[in-house]
Every structure is written in structure tokens, then in C-alpha cells.
Homo-oligomer: A and B are copies of this chain.
Amino acid sequence: MTTSVNMKWSSGLRFKAEIAGRTVELNSAEKMASAFTPMELFLVSLAGCTSMDIIWILERQRQIIHNLEVSIEGIRRREDPKYYETINLEFILSGLNIRENAVEKAIGLSKDKYCSVLAMLNDSVKVNITYKILDESKPMARTTSKSS
């Protein structure tokens, strides 16, 4: 399976990428308007990849998920190349009676088997994954757990 992207330079460090008629704009860190930096889009790509796996796996495990919010932060090296040395990814799941071991299993399968973006990273990038489960059938958040 092949995925193709065409990209054209606009001016400065601005570019417009196009995939099958859909477009996204890129820029460096100044005057962003609706544009993204390449490193921002990398985080979106990684967050999207793991999140789709987790939703797909949890639904197969008949877990009732009402909401999933994801926050991801990447901490860059000071020297070139300024890649992310550490990436912290947190999933906040809410729903009814979500089983903690189902969430652990979904995260584990994404990391070890399904997530194509994670599978391309080398060992100099440390990815920490944590999650919170909010049980809507109870008044307080039920649990906070870690997975790595």
C-alpha cells in the first residue's frame, strides 16, 4: 500500500501539502495562521495513530466509551537535530464501567503490534503513555493508572 503527498513551497518557510484534494498548510514557528510546523504534525500523527487503535480495540472488547481526550507533549533536544527526546501521551477515557485491564491491553496492543508511527521510532525517543478512566456511573473519577 502506497500513500502519496505533493507539497509546494509558498514563500518564506511556508508550504502547502496536498493529498487527494485535501490540503494542509505548514510554516515554521512564526505567523502560523492556520498552518502547522512539521514537528506539531508529527505529534498529531502519533496521537492519532495510537488513539484510533485504542478506540478500535476497546470497542471490540465491548467497552462503552463516551469520550476520549488525548493530550500529547513532546520535549525537544536543545542541539540539532532537535527531535523529541521525550513524548508524554495521556488518554482520558470516560464511559460506563470501563475495565482498567481492557485499557491496559488496548494501549499495549497499540504499542507493540498496531501503531505504525510508534513502530518507526528509534530508541532515542522515549514515549510515556498514561491514562485516566472517568466512570460516569460514579460521582468521582475512578482511577488513574500508568502504562509505559
- In the complex, the answer to whether B9 meets A55 with C-beta atoms within 8 Å is yes
Nearest B residue to A26 via CB reads B48
Contacts of A121 in B (CB 8 A): 120-122
How many copies of this kind of chain does the complex include?
Answer: 2
Over the window 11-50 of chain A, the binary record of Cβ atoms lying under 8 Å from chain B Cβ atoms (1 yes, 0 no) is: 0010101011010101010001111111111111111110
Which of B55, B67, B76 is in CB contact (< 8 Å) with A13?
Answer: B55
Whole-angstrom CA separation of A48 from B10 in the bound complex = 12
Residues on A close to B: CB < 8 A? 1-9, 13, 15, 17, 19-20, 22, 24, 26, 28, 32-49, 51-52, 55-56, 65, 67-76, 78, 80-84, 113-125
